[in-house]
Amino acid sequence: MTTITPNNPPFPAYRSTDKGSFAWDSTVRRWPSILDNAIADLEKAIDKSTDDQARQEGKKIRDAIVDLKNEMAADRPLRLIADKEDDTADWNRHLATYFAGATWFGGTWLFNECYMYRRLRESFSNSTCWRQYDPFGDQKLATFRGSHGSVFDLAHKMPTLIQPMTVEQHEIVYDELIQVCLWGNATDLSLLTNMTEEDIKRLQAIEKDKLAEQKKKILVDNIEPLWQKIKSLQGSRVDFVLDNTGFEVYVDLILADWLLQSGKASQVVFNCKTIPWFVSDVMPQDIPILFDACLDRKFFPGHETRSEEDFTALETMVRRWKSYVEDGRLIVREHKFWCSGLPYWYLKQEAPELFEDITKSDLAIFKGDLNFRKLVFDCDWPVTTPFKTAIGPDMANEFTSIASLRTNKAETIVGMKEGVKEELEKTVTPLEWRCSGKYAVVQYNSPS
């Protein structure tokens, strides 16, 4: 058996050399378009700036991003990272150890996609005036604005979800919230180049009948085993390894709020990214930005027609969330490992203190597609491979219980029952069920 490395997963890696694949489409179309959007927003910011140094540096950054696009199109080798951030040495060690000579098409899709966001960061890191600038900040806020309908609906619902209730009632609430939290992952801005606004609205639906309809699209459904775990929690710590800001983290906050109010959790830890990542991923600073947006009565479109009850429902809830942060019931933190290019099979080796720390938690909920890809090494597993096998021995047996709530936006998948794929493909193309974000999985593992 050959040795498993990040460039040599247990099953074949997805690579952009495979013409026509989703990885290939990313490299030739989606990533350049993501970089174009970042350039457009940066140019607006440069135009607005009155500081000469900022304008000059801004133009240099824009040129560096254009160079990055050209390198990609010419399939150049992945060069070392040239800045002085906390993770620069790690990135360069991974490049030299595992990806020496790899190119934009020839490296693994997972590593290369992460590398693109790290290179984008490099162009800002090396400046003085733009170190704190988020090239996706405007897009993040604009999309959150578009979620106003479901934002207010959920805020109105919240008091009924957190009132005292029986175990049976809790299960009903859980069943609904877990799905809202799952489908909230559809609001990922790195895939918006493939989805219509209508698609997103439908996936954000919170009404019961719509959720029941959506449930049919959960291809691996461990909602019940996950409930058995959540039911048993009492005054526990629950970690979220977050994905996207905006509507997704808003629904994560709703779930966290319910866990705290029901007494199942006494502490929730939000694990965030350190740098602008996959367009919409949460960095710690996105949380106060989201709170402020919700507390600004003019933020959402149609605010003129909103009632006092609408605002009060939202504000009461968001102020409670702020108080959780203030009194430490909600910890918002970051770690550089979440922005490395390695699968989580390497979490224990690369970030032992993080691994140990989350192991103290009673449950870790991994949100979204990229976290799923990293959990299962982003490779072409037989679709019926058990989740426990695909997450590797450390995560399967030595870590805490984990749940993965993911809408499918990439080819890799595991844990399907025999025959489900074949039945599905009678009516749906592989690209549709694997990559469109309209199908999903809820996977669960408890350590044995």
Q: Which is nearer to ligand F6P, 191 or 403 (CB)?
A: 191
Residues near Mg ion (CB under 5 A), total: 5
Alpha-carbon Rg for the chain, nearest whole angstrom, is: 21
Nearest approach in angstroms of CB 44 to ligand F6P is 23
With CA atoms as reference, report the closest residue to 224 among 175, 165, 168, 169. 175
- Residue from 188, 286, 362, 411 that binds Mg ion (CB under 5 A)? 188
- Residue from 81, 154, 155, 191 that binds ligand F6P (CB under 6 A)? 191
The size of the chain, in residues, is 448
Q: Is 410:439 a contact under the CB 8 Å cutoff?
A: no
Using CB under 5 A as the binding rule, the residues of this chain from 134 to 173 that contact Mg ion are none
CB-based contacts of 233: which residues, under 8 Å, 6+ apart?
259, 264, 265, 362, 363
Helices 286-295 and 308-327: angle between axes, nearest 10 degrees: 150
Residues near ligand F6P (CB under 6 A), total: 15
Distance of CA 407 to the CA centre of its chain: 10
Q: Does 368 help bind ligand F6P (rule: CB under 6 A)?
A: yes
Q: Is 22:410 a contact under the CB 8 Å cutoff?
A: yes
- Residue from 335, 409, 434, 438 that binds ligand F6P (CB under 6 A)? 409
Q: Does 203 help bind ligand F6P (rule: CB under 6 A)?
A: no
Q: Does 113 help bind Mg ion (rule: CB under 5 A)?
A: no
- Residue from 27, 143, 147, 190 that binds ligand F6P (CB under 6 A)? 190
Q: How many CA atoms are closer than 13 Å to the CA of 95, on its beta-carbon side? A: 21
Q: Does 281 help bind Mg ion (rule: CB under 5 A)?
A: yes
Q: Does 243 help bind ligand F6P (rule: CB under 6 A)?
A: yes
Q: Which is nearer to ligand F6P, 318 or 376 (CB)?
A: 376
Q: Which helix (H) or strand (E) holds 405?
A: strand 402-407
Nearest approach in angstroms of CB 193 to ligand F6P is 9
What residue spans of 296-338 are helical by DSSP H?
Answer: 308-327
Nearest approach in angstroms of CB 438 to Mg ion is 16
CB-based contacts of 224: which residues, under 8 Å, 6+ apart?
none
Q: Which is nearer to ligand F6P, 23 or 330 (CB)?
A: 23
Six token digits for residue 194: 């493939």
**Contact footprint for ligand F6P (CB under 6 A):** 26, 113, 185, 188, 190-191, 243-244, 278, 368-370, 373, 409-410
**Contact footprint for Mg ion (CB under 5 A):** 188, 243-244, 278, 281
